[in-house]
Amino acid sequence: MMLPLERARRARTAVALAVSIATACSWIAAAAAPAAAAINCGVPPNPGVNLRNCSLVGANLAGSNLSGARLMHANLSGANLSGATLTGANMTGAILTNAKLPNADLSGVHLRHANADHAVLTNANLEHAAFDGTSLSGADLSGADLIKANLNGAILSGARLVGAKLVNAKAKGINLSGANLANSHLEGAHLIAGNLAYANFTDASLFGAKLAGANLTGANLTRATLDHANLAGATLTQVIWTGASCPSGATATALGC
């Protein structure tokens, strides 16, 4: 028969062993789990870096690889990101006013509710990027690839998008008033209820574009292609129709389609 003291000793040993095993398991699990990158505003730019809320005003990040980086609410105003890679980065709420991003790769980037007024994004890859609610007033996106980008509610008043590709872009309620979209490609773009007043669409392709309820007051549609476009309920006062093709395929008259 086991004595009471011996029974108590063995019970304590069993409890200690169980605690040791549990601790070891927690250490193993922690080692196996991918650790979230800590915020460190002083680290060199690298993929997946966490620069949330960091001030990078005027920083020279040209050619940097910041793919998957976390730049939410970071201040990158005036920064040089020429040729940088930011694929899949999260830049929600970031400030990019006057930033330089020519030839940068921002495909799949999350740039929602950000401020990129007067930024330079010429020839940038913005395919599948999310710009909902972002302000890009006066920005230069000439030659940029915005295919299937999300621009719902974005503000691009006075922006330059000469030769830009916005094929199948989602841009409901977008503000393109006074923007220059000459020679741009907007085939199948959703511009429903958008403000396109006084925008320049000279030689642009709007084939199959959704323009229902859009405001096209004073827009320049010289030689624009509007075949199969939906203009139901659109405001078309003072539009320049010279040489434009109508949704029916017929050539527009001076009075419109």
What pLDDT digit, counting tens, does each position of 1-47 carry?
A: 455 555 545 545 544 444 343 433 333 333 333 344 566 798 889 99
What pLDDT digit, counting tens, does each position of 202-239 carry?
A: 999 999 999 999 999 999 999 999 999 999 999 999 99
pLDDT computed for residue 40 by the predictor: 75
Domains of the chain and CATH, by start: 131-257 (2.160.20.80)
Q: What is the band of 251 on the pLDDT scale with cuts at 50, 70, 90?
A: very high
Q: Token pair of 121, please? A: 């994004």
What pLDDT digit, counting tens, does each position of 145-204 carry?
A: 999 999 999 999 999 999 999 999 999 999 999 999 999 999 999 999 999 999 999 999
| Mean pLDDT of the region 74-98 | 98
